[in-house]
Amino acid sequence: MERRKGANDQEGEKKKGLFVKKKALFLFFFLPLIGIVLLFFVLSTVNRSYIKTKVEDLVKEQLRSTAEILKTNISHYLSENYQADEIFELYSGEENIYYMALLDDEKNILGWKSQFEGYLPLSRKTLIEKESWVIDSPVGKIYNFFSSFTAPDNKTYHIYLGYSLVNLEEMMAYSKRNFIILFSVIAGIGIVFFLGIYRIQAYYMKKEKETEKEKREKERFREISAFTSGIAHEIKNPLNSLSLLLELLQKKSPGELRKDVTQGRTEVQKISRIIDLFSAALKPMNLQKEKFVLKDLIEDIFESLRRKGFSMSVDLQYSEDKEVILHADKGLMSQVFLNLLKNSLEATEKGAVRVHAKDHRKKVTITITDSGKGMSDEEKMHIFEPFSSHKKQGMGVGLYLAKKIIEAHQGRISFDSHIGQGTSFSIQITGG
C-alpha cells in the first residue's frame, strides 16, 4: 500500500515536472510572440498618432491659409459695398465650408450662412478662449475658425468659419482599418507560426522522451534476459541429467512403478520445453535474411497444419494481387505465420481462415482473417504480452514472439477483432 502510494507520488511529481516543462516551453514560444505583437502594436500606434497629429496640423494650417485668403476677399468685397449676405452667396458652392459668419468689431453678427437650418454653433464663451477649435456633429468633426481683420474702411471685422473635417476623418478611418487588418494578419500569422514551432518542438521533445524511455527499457530487458538466460541454462543441465536418470529408472523399475516414473519423465520434459520456449523468447534476434516467395511459404504451412489435423472443418485460403516476394528471415517468418494461423484455426469452429497478400511499392501487407469467436476487450489489451494465454493449452508466447520477429524486420503487426465476428491480423513488412 505504502509502496503504491510512493509510486503514485513519484508519478505525480513526474507529471508535474513534465507540465512545468511544457509550460516553460509554451512560454518560451508564446512570450516572444506576445512581445513582437505588442511591439508592433505600440510602434504602429505611436506612428499612427504621429502621422495623425502631423496631418491634422497640416490640414489646420491649410484651413488657416484658406481663411486668410477668404478674409482678403471679404475685405475687398466690403470695400466695394457688398452686403454680408451677398458676399456669402458668392461662396455658396463651397461644400467643405459648413457655415460662415461675418461679425462687427463688437462681435455682433452682420450676416451668416449655413448648410444646415439655423446651425451656427458660435458661442461667445468659446470666442474668449481660442481662435480655433473642433466640435463633433452628426456629420463628423467640424473645424471652427474665428479671426479678425481690418477692412479698407479701417473698421475691424471678425470672420467665423466651420470647415468639414470629413476627408480627414475618412483618411483616419481608412488608416485605422488598414492598421487593424495588418495587425490581425500579422498576429494571425505569428500565432500560427509560433504555435507550429511550439508543436514541432513539443513533438520532438515527446519523441526524445519516448526514445529515452525505450532505451532504458531495452537496457533493463537485456539485463533481465542475460540473467534469466543464465538461470535457464543452469536449470536445463540438471534437468537433462534428471531426464536421463528417469529414462534409466524407467527401464529398470518394476512394473508397478514404471507408470509413475514415465509420468515423472514426461513432466521433466515438459519443464524442459517451457525453458526452451522461454529462452527462445528472450534470445536476441539474429536475422538471416533471404528472398523467398510468400505463397510457397504459406502453402507449406497450410500443408503442415493440415497434416497435424488443424484444418478439419475450416477451409484455409490464400490469395494475392500479384506474386509477393519477401526479403526476410524465412524460418522466423514461418514461425510468425504458423503461430497466427494456429491461433486463427483454434478460434474458428467452422468457416474459413483467409490469408491475403498485396505488394504496393515494396510495402507488403499480409492479412490473416478468421471467422472465429473474436476477442474480448480484456484479451485485446494483453494479446501481445508474453505468457498471457486465454487458451486451455499453450504458453502464451506465440503472439509475443510473432510481434518481436516482425518488429525485428522493421515491420508492424496490428489486429482488429469483434466478438462473434472474428479476428483479423495485419502485417506490414518490406517486400523483396
Partner 1 sequence: MKRLPLWGLALFLFFSTIFSYGQKKEHYYNVDKEVTVKGTIKEIKMEPLYKNTSPFLIIILKENKTETIFNVEISPVWFFDHDFHQGEYLVVKGSLYTSEENVQNIIAREVQFSGQTLLLRDKHGFPNWRGGKGQMTRKGKRKRDFS
Phi, psi for residue 107 in degrees, rounded to 5? 65, 35
- Which residue, 134 or 185, has its beta carbon nearer to partner 1? 134
- Nearest-approach distance from CB 96 to partner 1, in angstroms: 16
| Residues 139 and 113: beta-carbon distance below 8 Å | no
- Which residue, 107 or 330, has its beta carbon nearer to partner 1? 107
Helices 166-252 and 255-282: crossing angle in degrees, nearest 10, is 150
Separation between Cα atoms, residue 24 and residue 148, nearest integer Å: 68
| Among 166, 165, 118, 125, residue whose Cα is nearest residue 146 | 125
Decide if residue 136 touches partner 1 (CB under 8 A): yes
Decide if residue 5 touches partner 1 (CB under 8 A): no
- Nearest-approach distance from CB 109 to partner 1, in angstroms: 5
# residues contacting partner 1 (CB under 8 A): 22
Decide if residue 352 touches partner 1 (CB under 8 A): no
Decide if residue 85 touches partner 1 (CB under 8 A): yes
Decide if residue 86 touches partner 1 (CB under 8 A): no
Separation between Cα atoms, residue 222 and residue 226, nearest integer Å: 6
Phi, psi for residue 304 in degrees, rounded to 5? -60, -45
- Nearest-approach distance from CB 185 to partner 1, in angstroms: 28
Separation between Cα atoms, residue 159 and residue 153, nearest integer Å: 16
- Which residue, 77 or 88, has its beta carbon nearer to partner 1? 88
Stretch that binds partner 1, among 136-144, 197-205, 296-304, 321-329 (CB under 8 A): 136-144
Following CA atoms 307, 313, 319, 323 in sequence, which dihedral angle do they give, to the nearest 10 degrees?
0
Site string for partner 1, 26-65 (x = CB under 8 A): ----------------------------------------
Quick one: cell of 263? 509420468
Rg of the chain taking only CA atoms, in angstroms: 48
- Which residue, 71 or 113, has its beta carbon nearer to partner 1? 113
| Residues 336 and 347: beta-carbon distance below 8 Å | no
- Which residue, 125 or 392, has its beta carbon nearer to partner 1? 125
Stretch that binds partner 1, among 62-70, 135-143, 228-236, 332-340 (CB under 8 A): 135-143
- For residue 159, the surrounding DSSP H or E stretch is strand 156-164
- Which residue, 109 or 275, has its beta carbon nearer to partner 1? 109
Separation between Cα atoms, residue 281 and residue 288, nearest integer Å: 17
- Nearest-approach distance from CB 48 to partner 1, in angstroms: 22
Site for partner 1 in 105-124 (CB under 8 A): 109-114, 116-124
- Which residue, 77 or 278, has its beta carbon nearer to partner 1? 77
Site for partner 1 in 217-276 (CB under 8 A): none
| Residues 22 and 29: beta-carbon distance below 8 Å | no
Chain-centre distance for alpha carbon 160:
65
CB atoms within 10 A of CB 359: 19
- Which residue, 84 or 405, has its beta carbon nearer to partner 1? 84
Binding site for partner 1 (CB under 8 A): 85, 109-114, 116-125, 135-139
